[in-house]
Amino acid sequence: MKFVDEVKITITSGHGGPGAVNFRRESGTPRGGPDGGDGGRGGNVIFKTSRHINTLGDFKNNRKYNAGNGQAGARDNCTGQDGADLVLIVPEGTIIRNLEGEILFDLNKNTQETILFGGRGGKGNTFFKNSVNQAPEHAQPGEESHTLDIALELKLIADVGIIGFPNAGKSTLISKISAAKPKIADYPFTTLTPQLGVVNVGDYSNFVVADIPGLIKGAHAGVGLGIQFLKHIERTRLFIHIVDVSGISGRDPMNDFEDINYELTMYDEMNKDKEEFFALSNREQIVVLNKIDQLSPEQVEKFKSQFKKKYGVEVYAISAITGKNLQEFLKTVGNKILKSKEAEDEDKNSQAESL
């Protein structure tokens, strides 16, 4: 079980461009005054957080990151171009340590930090002209670049929890929508520890899904694997509630749905006095009827309308195995997560304003 994402990288700022040594050439004046310009500044290495990404996966393919170097100064007092800053985007909550393990920066929400500054550009020979020396022959070199080995560390926080009976297809779903490779088998309690998967939505956004062991009736009293795993999804934004409608289990899907919700209520009851507790039974749920490859379209429609009618919930019908309706469902989840993050940001902003 890996809840921490970590990656070691080397960052280097740009060196400053050297100043130029040059003298004006004008007709009739073999050697005019100095006109060597200054070198440009080297690029900084900047870290910026984004709430659209949840992992450090982008840093796993490349270990070295360099900002641009400053350009040399030139004649006519032309200053060299500054080196381009390197802006590295990391998830909110990323911690930057040196290799000794000391925390250098803790990047919380909406932060931007310059971690390494580029070297200053060297002065051109114009700068050194004075009453004594009208024709300085020297210029400054640019300042050196800086290199730093760092470790980026992120504690993964699940946005979505997948709940349901054993064998409902929770692990199959997470294996289809993320790179996670959980064990999948046709016996109950295949999953013994929570697993996290990162789901990419479009090119720049992702969210984290937690697959937890299955719940069964009486879990709050210790039946099956119990309910202690629910603590891993206490802080998620919503639940995907998977219900097996294939009939393979021999149980009634609506009973299953009610049993799981009852266990959530019991979890709340047992934990309500805990400090910083977030109740589960009133968490938004997207209900997903799974294994519809085993049913006729009419049977699927019947289940959908029964769930809608009885519980007033949003219902999707998918086959985690064949992928049927999976993309449309993921889009819905992705949009909900994005909205939830935006609402949280607005909340934070208005709280900050009212302070």
Ligand X SMILES: Nc1nc2c(ncn2[C@@H]2O[C@H](COP(=O)(O)OP(=O)(O)OP(=O)(O)O)[C@@H](O)[C@H]2O)c(=O)[nH]1
- Chain residues binding Mg ion by CB under 5 A are 171, 190-191
- CB closer to ligand X out of 265 and 325: 325
**Residue 189 in contact with ligand X, rule: CB under 6 A:** yes
For residue 173, the minimal CB distance to ligand X (Å) is 7
The number of angstroms, rounded, from the C-alpha of 26 to the middle of its chain's C-alpha atoms is 59
Query: CA–CA separation, 56 vs 66, rounded Å?
Result: 18
Query: CA–CA separation, 184 vs 75, rounded Å?
Result: 69
- CB closer to ligand X out of 21 and 173: 173
**Residue 45 in contact with ligand X, rule: CB under 6 A:** no
CB neighbour class for 213 (10 Å; exposed up to 12, middle 13-18, buried from 19) = buried
Q: What does the angle CA 112 – CA 115 – CA 117 come to, to the nearest 5 degrees? A: 115
**Residue 190 in contact with ligand X, rule: CB under 6 A:** yes
* Mode of pairing for the β-strands spanning 160-164 and 205-211: parallel
Q: Which parts of 86-115 interact with ligand X (CB under 6 A)?
A: none
- CB closer to ligand X out of 170 and 336: 170
**Residue 168 in contact with ligand X, rule: CB under 6 A:** yes
**Residue 321 in contact with ligand X, rule: CB under 6 A:** yes
Q: Which parts of 258-317 interact with ligand X (CB under 6 A)?
A: 290-291, 293-294
Q: Please tell me the number of Cα atoms within 13 Å of 179 on its side-chain side.
A: 6
**Residue 191 in contact with ligand X, rule: CB under 6 A:** yes
Q: What, of Mg ion, ligand X, none, does residue 77 touch, CB below 5 to 8 Å by kind?
A: none
Query: CA–CA separation, 56 vs 58, rounded Å?
Result: 5
Residue 295 is classified by DSSP as: S
| Structure tokens belonging to residue 198 | 């990162």
* Residue choice 16, 83, 142, 213 for contact with ligand X (CB under 6 A): 213
Residues binding ligand X (CB under 6 A)? 164, 166-172, 184-186, 188-191, 213-214, 246, 290-291, 293-294, 319-321
